[in-house]
Structure 1
């Protein structure tokens, strides 16, 4: 319920801030602020994505993992998205998040807070290792494998040119 209220109140707060701040500083400075923060957000997002790709291509250096580079990249990406969205509240939150990731002691506390909420892959029993035949798949409650039997019929392409999809037919 609380999240729903926040989601409903967010646009109203943004509109109110546009009216109040825009009335104080004027139309053109308001538009310039919105455009500049959006451009800064796009550039920050591109930089963060490029850095993330470098880390992935480099094989995830253990020192980078120890320093929390993936979490920092995630937080900077979120800050960039907040800067891209138009509005003074989102821009303020994006700038605060960006500043928090720039100060090492605050960044470490923020990373620790994020990592406490992260569930390691496979810990929830989701069977992520089965995507490409890596490791065992999820098990049924009885302990056996889940096997689905099925049949298929190959239909030549010229047979169904003017017919609807055969997915709906039962044979």
Structure 2
């Protein structure tokens, strides 16, 4: 985790600055600033159009009764692409364009979706073989416990029982009389 945070907050900005300085030396300051602004505006408009296209694919799959897993992953990648394209710099713009272009986004999304499915399946299999279903987990997860186990491990007194609401004949007559009085016209 530390390595990922180090890359995001230290290494990427240093690389971006060095590339921006090098491009600024070659093309000039104003041309470089113009290119950075142009890629941000172009990226936002492309993210919008690709996002609408992906949303329509999700709706079509839902209408057919299919799960739109890969399209949801593509939508997350489009959101990441939008953030990367708005950040000033050419390296983040390049990565954002890779995530934005359908030619590269779809295979990456398929790979990410397949890895997500493998993690879910392996997690479920671990639950069947004692990984998630061990006794310690049953004590800590109230959804996996029977009502008896929940009461056995809870603190304090727990009383189970049934109740029945009973009215005697006098109470029933009083209710009928009150309803009749309320319906009578008042003079």
Q: Matches of residues 1-171 of structure 1 in structure 2 within 5 Å?
A: 1-7=2-8, 8-55=10-57, 60-62=62-64, 68-99=70-101, 101-102=102-103, 107-108=106-107, 110-118=108-116, 139-140=141-142, 143-144=145-146
Unaligned runs of 5+ in 1: 126-137, 149-171
Higher helix share: 2
Unaligned runs of 5+ in 2: 128-139, 155-187
Equivalent pair of 2:46/2:100 in contact (CA under 8 Å): no
Give the direction of change, closer, same or farther, for the CA distance of 1:29–1:65 in structure 2 (3 Å limit). farther
Give the direction of change, closer, same or farther, for the CA distance of 1:5–1:68 in structure 2 (3 Å limit). closer
Q: How far, CA to CA, are the matches of 2:65 and 2:103 in structure 1?
A: 18
TM-score (normalised: structure 1)? 0.58
Question: Over aligned residue pairs, what C-alpha RMSD do you find?
Answer: 3.8
TM-score (normalised: structure 2)? 0.53
Query: Number of paired residues?
Result: 132
Could you list the structure 1 runs, at least 4 aligned residues long, displaced by more than 3 angstroms after superposition: 51-59, 61-68, 122-125, 144-148
